[in-house]
Amino acid sequence: MNILVCIKQVPDIEKIKIDSAKNEMIMTGVPNIVNQFDTYALETAVRIKDANPETRVIVVTMGPAQTKDALKNCLSVGADKAYMICDDILSDSDTLVTSYVLSQAAKVIEEREGQPFSLFLCGKQAADGDTGHVGPQLAEYLGLPQITSAMEISIDGNKVLVRRLTEEGAEIKAAEMPALVTMSQTEYEPRYASVKTKMAANRAEIPVLTASDLGLDAACVGLGGSPSKLIKTFVPERKKGGLKIEEETGELSAQKLVALLSDAGAI
């Protein structure tokens, strides 16, 4: 079976610092990485392939030219093939448009690969916008059942079984394939690339799909085609230098804290 993993390149949010004078994020020097939830999605797909060797894992991303690096990364840790959707008219698309474009791309890739996808995997959410919309919206455009926030996936014949967290604990959900699953954190860590797999990934040819390859109408994509508009961003006010309590002993510190909290009416 073929699995399509949708990945996104995002800035490594752990490396973002705040310029408190200007009250903005400092993005220079922040490396771009494959969105962490997407790395779990890819690892899960590759594990399915490990257990079912006839499986092919294909990754796709929509983004600017530099996202090729993210795809190479994916190729070095087990993806068989990567496609890149890249076109200037796609910039500033919201999640609805992104999902639409991905759905069109999925159909084109199926055709080129000569086989439909049985399973579509996305990350639970991308670390830039933190929306978690694209998985369910892609499922809608493709007319597929969806299961979100998976921690573990197994394949049973033509069914996908998913363990996911719920507000009450956990549950096992099933859907007949083709289906779309979004991945949360897994218990296993994604594998590392080796020098050899990195070199192979570097040599790999990554087909680029443009808006016209996907039959996209310029009016329906990008900012103009997006119903959600980003109006502005701002850095939230930080708690500037909260009070540090460093008394002689932990006991004295605790006493001081309780007095402060009680004066503030917090306890």
Partner 1 sequence: MSGYKNIWALVEVQGGQVKSIGLEMLVGGRRLADAVSEKLVAIVMGLDTKEAVKAAVSYGADQVIVLDGNDYGEYNTEGYTYALEQLINKYKPSAMLIGASINGRDLAPRLAARLKTGLAADCTGAEIDAATGTISWTRPAYGGNTMAIVETPEARPQLATVRASVYKRGEPDTQRSAEIIEESIELPAGIVRTSIIEKIAEVAEGIKLEDAEVVISGGRGVGNVENFEMLKELASILNGAVGASRAAVDAGWISHLYQVGQTGKTVSPKLYIACGMSGAIQHLAGMSGSDRVVAINRDPDAPIFEVADYGIVGSIKEVVPALIAEIKKLKA
Ligand X SMILES: Nc1ncnc2c1ncn2[C@@H]1O[C@H](COP(=O)(O)O)[C@@H](O)[C@H]1O
Residue nearest to ligand FAD according to CB distances in the complex: 36
Torsion angle of the four alpha carbons 145, 187, 184, 33, in this order, in degrees rounded to the nearest 10: -120
Structure tokens at 178: 């083709």
Instruction: State which of residues 139, 150, 193, 209 lies at the interface with partner 1 (CB under 8 A).
Output: 139
Under a CB-based contact definition with an 8 Å cutoff, are residues 71 and 7 in contact? yes
**Interacting span for partner 1 (CB under 8 A) from 63-71, 81-89, 90-98, 190-198:** 90-98
- Residues in contact with ligand FAD, counted by CB under 6 A, come to a total of 3
Q: What CA–CA distance (Å, rounded) separates 80 from 49?
A: 10
- For residues 4-43, which are near ligand X according to CB under 6 A? 6-8, 35, 37-38
Q: Which residues of 191-228 are buried (b: 16+ CB within 10 A; e: fewer)?
A: bebeeeebeebeeeebeebebeebebeeeebbeebbee
Q: Is 2 in the site for ligand X (CB under 6 A)?
A: no
What's the distance, CA 175 to chain centroid?
22
Residues with Cβ < 8 Å from 49, sequence gap 6 or more? 3, 55, 56, 57, 78, 80
Binding mask 37-76 for partner 1 (x = CB under 8 A): ----------------------------------------
Q: Is 185 in the site for ligand FAD (CB under 6 A)?
A: yes
Is 74 an interacting residue with respect to ligand X (CB under 6 A)?
no
Question: For residue 189, what are its two tokens?
Answer: 């860590």
* Residue with the CB atom nearest ligand X in the bound state: 123
| Residue 234 structure tokens | 């701002």
Neighbours of 140 (CB within 10 A): 15
- Fill in the per-residue mask, 96 to 135: x = in contact with partner 1 (CB under 8 A), - = not in contact: x--x------------------------xx-xxxxxxxxx
Examine residue 120 and tell whether it contacts ligand FAD (CB under 6 A).
Answer: no
The reply on whether position 37 binds ligand FAD by CB under 6 A is yes
Residues that bind ligand FAD (CB under 6 A): 36-37, 185
Residues that bind ligand X (CB under 6 A): 6-8, 35, 37-38, 61-63, 95, 98, 102, 122-123, 125-126, 129, 131-135
